[in-house]
A and B are shown apart, each in its own frame.
Chain A
Amino acid sequence: MRKLNLLLGTIILGMLFLTSCTESEKKEHTDAADIPVSKEMMAELTSPPNVPRGVGRRKAKKLIVNMEILEQVGTMTDGTTYNYWTFGGSVPGSFIRTRVGDEVEFTLSNHPDNKLPHNIDLHAVTGPGGGATSSFVAPGHEKTFNFKTLNPGLYVYHCATAPVGMHIANGMYGLILVEPEGGLPQVDKEYYIMQGDFYTKGEHGEPGLQPFDMQKAVDEDADYVVFNGSVGALTGDNAITANVGETVRLYVGNGGPNLVSSFHVIGEIFDKVHVEGGDMINTNVQTTLVPAGGAAIVEFRVDVPGTFILVDHSIFRAFNKGALGMLKVQGEEDMKIYSGMMQEGIYQPEGGGIQEMPEDENVKTVVASSDKTLAEKMESGKNVYMQTCFACHQAEGQGIPNAFPPLAKSDYLNADVNRAIQIVLKGKTGEITVNGEKYNSVMTRQAISSDEIADVMTYIYNSWDNNKTNVTKSQVEAVKNGH
């Protein structure tokens, strides 16, 4: 009995000891303000889409961050320039990577050529104005302030000088990551993507230096909605890349000023999403909402090769205002996971695109292409075009810069009719040059009948300054059977 008591006592004592031990350990975690810092370190800052190296197992440090504000003209889209206001010379501004407990010494310098005072509000800062009050700096001057990172997560920073909306609308935003102790889990590829909406005097695509339009900004009538500051910042040669089997982590932010992003990667499912950039992890997500002035961390493993399109799934923004990026994945096909080529789903309520016409054409009721007049072919061709081609090549055949080539006045199209027919029949992948611009996208094979192909090709060739070829059904059949 006595022995038992002793044993019990030891167990209780042991338990006590254990609890107190875990408690003290926990304490270190819960109160980030008490994490001691050792040594000084210069922060590595990167421009998008790159991110600095992870913190790994490093201890909390005094982290020196020097950021310069530059007001400078940059390219919005081909032929259109814009006077950006930037943190570190890029939109979004330089990516800052810290860990919980770091003491950040932040110096904000305002270039002497700049016209305006600026400041910075970092959502990762606990303190009045997020640093804005302490960092209000006139051109040709600099301000330094300190803060300790208390909460892990992905945070937006932005300028908060009056008029705030205008400073943000001109590109003054970026992301600061606060990693938990020990860092985020290792992944193969990490990228920095931030959406923003822009308001210009001219409509989307109007050439020349476009001034900011305050009225449109107030009305929330955006001319450009883009990733990383400009149309094409993430397409073509600027696309982000990965290899099959790798896990990709995207730090996704939204600077606004006005619009909320429905961030989606076409052909992928996010395995993990740090919802709103915080601790909560959601799994198997198709589209994640990134609020203006907010962020999200998304992760996914890429299993098959191809080009994956990043969009704001408020889809007109993607196809008409520029919110479109590309992730190019290289590697072995895996037929089990995906049998064919990557395809962008286009919803078609009737006719054409989705269902294959039966090869044996006994059931044919439509008037054969050969029996139609040019006007009839044009009319039917236009219908096919609006249902099948319009989404990518656009209403006036103008295409989308850096993503989808133009059909209007297209040298590539006019050079070879049979090649054009071939592309509609079989699809096209890889680089082509159209009117001097390089495109490297995917067009899927179009499952429409030979009649429809003849009509739509005739429509295209007889519109928008093309060479007026009248494509016949037999021509289409010849190409079809020839290969």
Chain B
Amino acid sequence: MITVLRLTLSISLLLTMTMAQSQSKMVSVKGGTYIPLYGRDSLKVTIGDFQMDVYPVTNKEFLEFIKKKPKWQRSNIKKIFADDNYLVSWISDTILGKNQSLKAPVTNVSWFVANDYCDCQGKRLATIDEWEYVAMANKTMPDARSLETYNKYILSWYEKPKTFNNEIGSTFKNYWGVYDLHGLVWEWTSDFNSVLISGESRKDVDNDSNLFCGSAAIGATDLMNYAAFMRYAIRGSVKAKYGLKNLGFRCVKDIKE
């Protein structure tokens, strides 16, 4: 009995120790109910409390991870888990490209690897609903989506070239204390491909889908539609093995009762 207890103790101790090693800073996000995009009342989504990484995963953090996980190194990774764009600007398996900053978000990673990274930290990728929930915030409000400045900020990012090599923390800190949700890179979500964008956006308008409520867009003149539309479009365009220069990720963690 005592041995069993000791064993459990030591295992859990070991676990916390390894996890603590490269644990990045997280903040708590208080859950709530919201309507994703500009949708209808019937589409309300309820989010529980959770913690989110303050910053996206950096090249430095990812480099440490990949050194311990040779199977995710560029020369070893199986073709079904990553395409040819995987870490494409790196010089070798464990050396960053010349112009890549250690403090820049890691990009050109596939969903499989991002998912495993979070898993190894005892975390997970955020769902679209969770990600969008936190991303509704500006500096001072949890839901700033109706503000013109909020939407203009997001839209202006689409016009700034090569932001993927900017350092983490270079955009604003939002209401929850989270940085870089807008203005740096796109981010993987766990259920990114549940979005029903066929690529033919006009057709999508007819789909009465729960996740992509495009039908509500008809006649809408709100700028926020467009900022959100583009995130949904990029999610719809990728597959789990894709690597994109402007697509990184961060992790979240459930808060245990």
Contacts and interface: CB of A to CB of B under 8 A. Distances in A.
B41 interface: no
Contacts of B204: 162
A472 interface: no
A125 to B, nearest CB: 12
B202 A164 contact: yes
Given A73-B161, A138-B244, A211-B156, A163 B200 contact: no
A23 B162 CA distance: 61
Contact of A112 (B85, B157, B202, B236): B85
B184 to A, nearest CB: 11
Contacts of A116: 158, 230, 233-234
A119 interface: yes
Nearest to A82: B159
Interface in A108-132: 112-117, 119, 121, 128-129, 132
Given A117-B234, A162-B232, A163-B225, A112 B199 contact: no
Interface residues of A, number: 36
Interface stretch (A212-220, A221-229, A398-406, A474-482): A212-220
A115 B237 CA distance: 12
A113 B203 CA distance: 28
Nearest to B156: A211
B201 A161 contact: yes
A273 interface: no
Contacts of B242: 138, 140-141
Contact of B237 (A113, A137, A214): A137
Contacts of A461: none
A300 interface: no
Contacts of B85: 112, 140-141
Contact of A83 (B159, B198, B226, B243): B159
B229 interface: yes
Contact of A119 (B200, B232, B238): B200
B202 A160 contact: yes
Interface string B4-27: 000000000000000000000000
Contact of A135 (B197, B199, B246): B199
Interface in B206-239: 214, 221, 223, 225-226, 229-230, 232-234, 236-238
B237 A133 contact: no
Contacts of B232: 162
Contacts of B186: 115
B197 A211 contact: no
Contacts of A83: 159, 161
Chain B interface size band reads 35 or more
A212 B245 contact: no
A102 interface: no
B47 interface: no
B63 interface: no
Contact of A129 (B162, B197, B203, B234): B203
Contacts of A72: 161
B200 A117 contact: no
B155 interface: yes
A214 B223 contact: yes
Contact of B159 (A135, A141, A163, A211): A211
Nearest to B246: A115
Given A129-B200, A211-B155, A138 B237 contact: yes
Contacts of B83: 141
Contacts of B237: 117, 136-138, 161
Interface of A: 71-73, 83, 112-117, 119, 121, 128-129, 132-141, 160-164, 166, 209, 211-212, 214-215, 218
Given A112-B88, A116-B230, A139-B246, 16 more contacts: A115-B158, A115-B186, A116-B233, A117-B236, A117-B238, A129-B199, A129-B202, A133-B203, A138-B237, A160-B202, A162-B232, A163-B226, A163-B230, A211-B159, A212-B159, A215-B221
11 contacts: A113-B161, A116-B234, A133-B200, A136-B198, A138-B242, A141-B83, A141-B242, A162-B204, A162-B230, A209-B159, A214-B223
Interface of B: 83, 85, 88, 108, 155-159, 161-162, 186, 197-204, 214, 221, 223, 225-226, 229-230, 232-234, 236-238, 242-246
6 closest A-B pairs by beta carbon, nearest first, are A136-B199, A117-B237, A162-B201, A129-B200, A138-B237, A83-B159
